[in-house]
Amino acid sequence: MVYTHASLCESMRLYPPVPLDSRQATVDDILPDGTAIKKGTRVAYHAYAMGRSEKIWGPDWAEFRPERWLEKVDEAAGKWSFVGRDSFSYPVFQAGPRICLGKEMAFLQMKRVVSGVLQRFRVVSMLEKGVEPRFIAYLSSKMEGGFPVRIEDRDG
């Protein structure tokens, strides 16, 4: 399940469920970069853009690499450990005192669905090689026209 967890994180890094969010300052404050924020100011962040930032994720930011979330624990046994990221650079579930209370439950549910589906079926992408689905960022995210796949029974 460690690799599944890393794959889910990597998927949400590239395609966050809520791509843009904002908060309103309740008091005057100063951001870590020195920017002064007055009470009542709305501050927005773009999780979609942050997930594609070379400054945060390195030169391979465009690659789907679940391994960026893993650390080898036992080379011989091929055991991996999950390495979380700073929630302020990976704000898919918010960060700080406003972090999503359902984050762990969401991961449990996602892992259960993924493992249940993949245990019984093969999921094959129907996109042509090199074709990227068009991501549409509204209040919540989706792929234009969905993401075409073929489901094959593993027993048949």
Which range (28-32, 33-37, 141-145) has the least confidence?
141-145
The residue-averaged pLDDT of 48-72 equals 95
Residue 129 domain flag: no
Look up residue 58 and give its DSSP letter: -
DSSP string computed for 87-117: TTTSTBTB-GGG--TTHHHHHHHHHHHHHHH
58, pLDDT greater than 70: yes
The residue-averaged pLDDT of 41-50 equals 92
Measured distance CA(102)–CA(22) in Å, rounded: 19
DSSP string computed for the chain: -HHHHHHHHHHHHHS-SS-EEEEE-SS-EE-TTS-EE-TT-EEEEEHHHHTT-HHHH-TTTTS--GGGGEEEEETTTTEEEE----TTTSTBTB-GGG--TTHHHHHHHHHHHHHHHHHHEEEEE-SPTTPPPPEEESSSEEETT---EEEEES--
Work out how many domains the chain is built from and give that number.
1
Residue 127 domain flag: no
Residue 156's pLDDT band (cuts 50, 70, 90): low
pLDDT of residue 144: 85
Residue 133 domain flag: no
Residue 29 domain flag: yes
Look up residue 81 and give its DSSP letter: E
Residue 150 domain flag: no
Q: What are the pLDDT digits (tens) for 75-134?
A: 777 789 999 888 888 999 988 888 999 999 999 999 999 999 999 999 988 877 777 778
> 126 φ, ψ to 5°?
-100, 5
Residue 128 domain flag: no
Measured distance CA(43)–CA(84) in Å, rounded: 25
21, pLDDT greater than 70: yes
Range of the domain at 64: 2-121
Residue 153 domain flag: no
pLDDT of residue 77: 79
The answer to whether 9 is a known ligand-binding residue is no
Residue 144 domain flag: no
Stated pTM of the model: 0.85
For a pLDDT cut of 90, what percent of the chain falls above it? Answer: 60
